[in-house]
Structures are given as structure tokens and as C-alpha cells.
Amino acid sequence: MDAKSPHIKNRDTPQWGLYQRNMFWKYNEGELPPFNTHPDVLERLASRKLSQNGYLYASSNAGLSHTHLANRQAFFRHKLVSRQLVDTNERSTRTKLFDNGKWEVSAPFGIAPVGINKIYHDRGELAVAKAAGELGLVYSLSTAGSYPIEEVGAAHDEGRANRFEEAKKNVGDGNEEKVPEAPRFFQLYMPHDDELTLSLLKRAHEAGFEACLLTTDTAQLGWRHDDVATSNYAFYRGIGGELGFTDPVFQKRMAEQGVDPQKDPVRAATMWIDTIWHGRAWSWEKAVWAREKWQEIAGKDKPFLIKGIQSVKDAKKAADLGFEGVVVSNHAGRQVDGAVGSLDALESIVKAVGERKGFTVMFDSGVRGAADVMKALALGAKFVFIGRLWIWGLAIMGEEGVRHVLRSLLADFDILMNVMGVRSVEEIDGSLLESGPRVYGLLNEKSKL
């Protein structure tokens, strides 16, 4: 933790691991770190801050939570094998996204798209986008977001503009100007209204979102016992429809139905969510149409990925049809109960399409720390999305809570690379893993983590 190491100036990012040193030093200044970032402590602290319904919406899973459990079990069968006496002093956590290296980011992980952040904190998506921008991390906005697309883009820009100052304040190693300007992605839940779909894509492009993720696993919510039992659906309470209310096409649709969101927010928010989580299936042909329209609006160089892929057959089809990639995800176990662990699906999908030129395999579901990120990368993912960790941070302490969780994850990953003997993200491969066979027996004690 030598803050004066001569190697720091040769690194291409701040020495993120110094955040650990700064947290240790706080006691000498009469302070302590904001909160413990161990996942189970995060969840416990967040549960004390949130309403019952807020907590249940964030923590509930499909059915008996067996897919959620399988996601964690899949990580347990892979063990990291460290290398010794490797000069990691000038290691790099930086990552280039997509085959053309179009964007560089601080680390190979970033913000997963999560809806209605306003139920966790008043500033919702604005707080998360700003923190991600400050740290040079990818931010992804959900169509089910609770702030307008334009305001979220502006918050991310504010964070990006402040990234050097933030690094100087919280790392302070002289490398603050090496924080990259990370892109932001827009996650699309595609309405059964082509004009509205095009309006959402146009707004996302004009607000600076540079890639589109089409989520295909959530035409409607999976059966989540806790949410059903408590009548827990924020949109049906009039909460979270602002992204839709500010859309010109949806404003026209509301006017046609005589709905005024100011006077009847419940009816308006219900109309909005029933438009995007509509319960009607899509086809591959419509997904191809959405990609074509996105690239007509944003440009041929703006990637369009399918999020929610679990089968090799689907991954191959996405590659064959020209999509720029897939996000291997089972929606964190919130959609299909009794499904394969997402990390197990990743392993199979990478073997099938991981070497396809111009095709990027990303990963989501079940990640709880830097070791999980490294395991997913070692199995062939090029990028990893993080969800529940920063949700808990947002609930605990708003923007500063998200920032603390993300800084801690950056420090964890930086330190892990150091103690694993890894000098760059490109060096992370299967040789770092010792893996057991796939086992789908349930653990005796079910974890919510």
C-alpha cells in the first residue's frame, strides 16, 4: 500500500487499491469508512433503510429462488489459482470494449441496467449514473428507469466531467487524469408500439447512449412470491413512470386515452409499464428490426446486443444474424426458476461463439465481488455487469453509497490482480482456474446473496 511507489506513475489508471489504504487511515482522522461492503452486510444494512416493498422488490427472485442459488453455486465450482513472483507493479485494470476497442473503461465491469431506482433513493438513476461517470465505468439505463433518459445522460456527463477531481480526492496518487471517459448503454424493453420504440431509441442516441442492449427475457415479470404476496408493484402505485411520461410518443398515447400523469399518476404509470412489460412474445425477426433501426438512428458503429441469452443455440443465432454480441444473463434468477446457473451457460456459450469475429460475449447474474468478476473473465466473458451490490449501496447512502461500493470493487479488483500475479485484463484466462464438474444439488442453507 505504498502511496509513493515509483511504479504508480507508469500505470494507465489510478492505483485503485489505494482506496483500501485510505479506509485504513480514516481511524487516525477520527472517522471510519462509510459502511461494510461485504455483500451480506450490504443487504442487511439496505433492508433497514428501505420499506418492506422496496427491499422485497430488490431481493425477490423467481419461484423458490433455485436459479438465484444456481447462479452462486456456479461460481463455487471454479477456484482461482494464483501465480507468484510476477511483476505486477505496473498492472492495468483498463479494458477495451468490443473488437474494435472503440471505448476504454477503468475496469472490465460496470453498471447493469436496473429499473425504478427511485424506490431505493430519491435521486435514483441520477446518483448511479454520476458515480459511474466519475469512476470511468460503463453505466446502463433501463427502459424501466424512473428518471428521463435525458436527465440520466446529463448526470453521467456530470460525473465524467468530474472524474479527475474525484480520483484526486479519493485515490490521490497523481494519476487522476488517467481515468477514461466511459460510455453509457441503453437497455431496451421493446414496446408493442413501433413508433414508441423508435422514439425511445432516438432519445437514447440524442442523450449520448452509445450502445443498445435488447433484453429478451422479461416480456413480463417472473412469478416472485414475496412481491405477489405484498401486492408489490411500484408502477401500479404510480411510482417510476417518468422515463415514459417524458416521451413525446407516449405523451400522445396518454392523451389519446385521456390520461394525465399529473392528475392520475397511478393510471399513467400503469399504462406505461403495461406498454413495456406487456407479456407478449417477440421473435428474432423483430430483434433484427430493432437493431437495424438503432443503427439507422445512431450509426453502424453503435453496437446492439441481446441480453438474456442462456442457450448455445440462441447465442449462435445472434452471431449468425449479425448482432454485435450477447449478454449471458438469467436476470439474476428473477425470471425462470430452476434454470441453469448463468456462469455455467457462459462457459458453454464462449466455447461455441467466443471466437467469432466482431461478436462480444458479456456476462451478468450472480456477481458479488472481484473474484467473481475474474472467474467470469477467465471463462471468456469480455465484460461483466454488476447489479445488486450498487443497489444496496444506493439504498444505504444514496450517491455516496454507490460511489463507496464502486470504489471498493475497483480496489478489490486491483488488489486481486496484484495478489493473483496478473498484469493486465488480457492475461486473465482459463489457466487461472481449477474447475470442478457441474453440480446442481441445492445447498442445505439457501443464501440470499
How far CA 348 is from CA of 313, 316, 341, in Å, comes to: 10, 11, 11
275 — alpha (psi -120 to 50), left (phi > 0) or beta?
Answer: alpha
The answer to whether 349 and 355 have CB atoms below 8 angstroms apart is: no
Sign for the pseudo-dihedral over CA of 361, 362, 367, 370: positive
The answer to whether 38 and 368 have CB atoms below 8 angstroms apart is: no
Query: Residue 93's closest CA among 33, 37, 167?
Result: 167
Could you tell me which residues come within 8 angstroms of residue 320 by beta carbon, excluding any fewer than 6 positions away? none
Q: How far apart are CA 89 and CA 374, in angstroms?
A: 19
Q: How far apart are CA 86 and CA 420, in angstroms?
A: 9
DSSP sequence for 263-309: T-HHHHHHHHHHHHS------HHHHHHHHHHHHHHH-TTS-EEEEEE
The answer to whether 349 and 309 have CB atoms below 8 angstroms apart is: yes
Q: Helices 194-206 and 248-256: crossing angle, nearest 10°?
A: 150
CA angle (112, 95, 82) in 5-degree steps: 95
Q: How far apart are CA 7 and CA 15, in angstroms?
A: 10
Q: Is 331 a catalytic residue?
A: yes
Catalytic residue among 66, 68, 331, 404: 331
Query: Looking up cell 467466443, which residue turns up?
Result: 354
**Bridge partner list, 214:** 188, 306
Query: Looking up cell 449468425, which residue turns up?
Result: 320
DSSP class of 82: -
Neighbouring CB atoms inside 10 A of 121's CB total: 24
State the DSSP H helix or E strand holding residue 14, giving kind and residue range, or none if neither.
none
Q: How far apart are CA 377 and CA 71, in angstroms?
A: 16
Residues forming the active site? 331
